């Protein structure tokens, strides 16, 4: 992956003076509720510049990145978790993947998202429309990935992810996903919260936390003003014996490379090879959908690849 440079000096200075991106994993209520708190402001901004996103696109894909990142609190080692949305609204859909080590990548099916009038709110439901959400777990311990799918009920990523776990896995879960923009449209704060009842927990385990959740500040705004993940967990859930188990980094990262695209090009059949060499265009540009990176191949490079 080639990470594009963030060139806005005001944003660069802001990112240098807030807490680093990470995920804190914790327990509440005597170990009956699992939690994860994600700060992802730098990740969202790198995602934005690599994919060349506007405000609406940054909000949509940014929430998706954080949702996937929060779900990595359930996996370990080389495990991965991904989710996809296919929908009838202008967004069309999206695909996001996160690994247990905190690397996240993914893309929108429509970029830019086509709109017919100025956006008046950050309610994404009109842009999703009817659709389906699927979650896939790629576990080292399993020979095949497990995928579950539900119909979208809300058109809001946080609520629809929570609904997925309730319907598909019968686990009560809550998500908060927040991206905060300044007056100039910069994404200066991004954060997400994940809470899930563990096996054996009472049916009311999450309900008892509702008041504390409602009193929490906007996560995007909180991190935009330099907030700390540890402080927020300990203060917001002080009545529920918070136990922070650890933390891990989170970042926008993709394993693509020019070498991988070279291998793909080399596997093309002879007719396609001849067509490319005859008609071009040159350089031939290949793009990784997951991270927006372009890899260019000159005619000479392609001739060398096809001759091997």
Please give the average pLDDT of every successive group of 10 residues along the chain, which has 308 residues.
97 98 96 96 98 98 98 94 97 98 97 89 94 96 93 97 96 96 97 93 85 95 97 96 96 96 92 90 95 96 90
DSSP per position, 270-283: HHHHHHHHHH--SS
What's residue 117's pLDDT?
Answer: 83
The answer to whether the Cα torsion of 43, 49, 55, 58 is positive or negative is negative
What's residue 204's pLDDT?
Answer: 81
Q: What is the 3-state secondary structure (H, E, C) of 72-85?
A: HHHCCCCCEEEEEE
Tokens 């906007």, located at residue: 218
What's residue 207's pLDDT?
Answer: 86
**Helix 270-279 with 299-307: angle, nearest 10 deg:** 160
Cα separation of 204 and 208, whole Å?
A: 6
Q: Which residues contact 207 (CB under 8 A, 6 or more apart)?
A: none
Main-chain phi, psi angles of 19, to 5 degrees = -60, 145
What's residue 33's pLDDT?
Answer: 95
- Cα-to-chain-centroid distance, residue 270: 38
Q: Which residues contact 42 (CB under 8 A, 6 or more apart)?
A: 15, 20, 21, 251
Smallest CA-to-CA distance from 26 within 16, 18, 34 is with: 34
- The alpha-carbon radius of gyration of the chain (Å, integer) is 21
Smallest CA-to-CA distance from 15 within 251, 248, 188, 229 is with: 188
Cα separation of 105 and 81, whole Å?
A: 11
Q: Name the pTM for this structure.
A: 0.96
| Domains along the sequence of the chain with CATH | 9-252 (3.55.30.10), 258-307 (3.90.1280.10)
Cα separation of 148 and 253, whole Å?
A: 25
What's residue 143's pLDDT?
Answer: 86
């Amino acid at each position: 992956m080639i990470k594009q440079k963030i060139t806005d000096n005001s944003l660069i200075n802001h990112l240098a003076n807030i807490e680093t991106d990470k995920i804190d994993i914790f327990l509440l209520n005597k170990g009956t509720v699992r939690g994860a708190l994600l700060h992802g402001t730098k990740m969202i901004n790198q995602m934005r510049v690599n994919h060349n996103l506007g405000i609406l696109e940054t909000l949509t894909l940014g929430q998706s990145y954080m949702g996937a990142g929060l779900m990595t609190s359930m996996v370990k080692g080389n495990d991965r978790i991904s989710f996809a949305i296919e929908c009838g609204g202008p967004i069309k859909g999206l695909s996001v993947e996160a690994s247990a080590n905190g690397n996240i990548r993914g893309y929108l099916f429509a970029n830019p998202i086509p709109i017919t009038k100025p956006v008046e709110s950050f309610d994404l439901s009109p842009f999703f429309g009817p659709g389906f959400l699927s979650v896939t777990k790629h576990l080292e311990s399993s020979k095949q990935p497990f995928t579950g799918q539900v119909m979208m009920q809300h058109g809001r990523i946080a609520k629809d992810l929570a609904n997925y776990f309730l319907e598909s896995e019968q686990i009560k879960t809550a998500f908060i996903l927040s991206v905060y923009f300044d007056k100039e449209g910069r994404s200066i704060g991004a954060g997400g919260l994940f809470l899930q009842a563990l096996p054996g927990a009472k049916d009311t385990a999450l309900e008892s936390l509702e008041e504390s959740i409602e009193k929490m500040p906007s996560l995007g705004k909180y991190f935009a003003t330099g907030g700390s993940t540890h402080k927020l967990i300990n203060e917001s859930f002080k009545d529920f014996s918070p136990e922070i188990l650890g933390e891990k980094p989170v970042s926008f990262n993709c394993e693509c490379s020019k070498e991988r695209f070279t291998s793909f090009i080399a596997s093309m059949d002879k007719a396609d090879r001849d067509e490319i060499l005859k008609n071009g265009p040159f350089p031939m540009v290949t793009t990784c959908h997951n991270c927006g990176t372009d890899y260019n191949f000159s005619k000479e490079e392609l001739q060398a690849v096809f001759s091997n």
